[in-house]
Amino acid sequence: MKVLATYSIKGGVGKTSAAVNLAASAALAGWNVLVWDLDPQGAATYLFRTKAKVKGGSRALVSQRRSLLDAAVATNVANLDLVPADFRYRHLDLQLHDTKGSTRVLAELIQPLAGSYDWVVLDCAPSISLVTEGVLEAVDILLVPVIPSALSVRTVDQLLAFVDGAHPDGPQLRRFEVVVFFSMVDGRRRLHREVLAELPERHPGLVALASVPMASIVERMGVERAPIGSFASGTKAALAYAQLWEELQGRWPDP
């Protein structure tokens, strides 16, 4: 089993779209996939047409009175289940803080899923928090969407400094791989073209070859409440997510 988290310090960069579309791509390829929507806003839950509620909320999960398997529900995508968001996840930081071994709790919740799922995809809220540290303890792959703009690219350096232990409160040993991909790319903009060329040169091996274009069809997901491949499989955005999945699958062929 491989655990992939779509994560960014900055909001509005396309992490939920990536989580939903990559999970759907993995399921279409025949893998058993679980998405855990960790964001209290519940965008991924909404896109999968599922009610944003977990019995007992985050407290039941953190205390391990309720397992992720118990909380998982089927979606309308074959081979793909979901642990829905719950607005009570907004208290998750506080609940982890009050729990012994707080940064290991999420990993301990995820480990028992290995017999049921090949891929677990975490859709994370935009923040640096105790939940973030818990995610970093649990993942194999941290997938970071970045808009080709100065402020968005700046968060890459902040994130790398944090995960590599430059900050005293950050993790001291990276146990996972960070993969950055460009999101909401507008090839007509000179700045976007410059950033697309510059960031891979500055961080060799960090940036995925696939990039997702700025496209209204991505916003259409909120109307259709489905992965793009379900209603617009031939579009550039759908093909970009499929290419990104193939690239990730090429790096980790055996979950």
CATH assignment of the domain containing 71 = 3.40.50.300
Count other Cβ atoms within 10 Å, centred on residue 218.
Answer: 23
pLDDT score, position 164: 78
Q: What is the mean pLDDT of residues 46-51?
A: 95
The confidence band for 102, taking pLDDT boundaries of 50, 70 and 90, is: confident
Report which of 183, 53, 36 is spatially closest to residue 121, judged by C-alpha positions: 36
* Containing structural domain, residue 246: 2-251
Q: State pTM to two decimals.
A: 0.93
Average per-residue pLDDT for the chain: 91
The confidence band for 26, taking pLDDT boundaries of 50, 70 and 90, is: very high
Number of domains the chain is built from = 1
In this structure, the chain runs to a length of: 255
Report which of 21, 31, 17 is spatially closest to residue 253, judged by C-alpha positions: 31
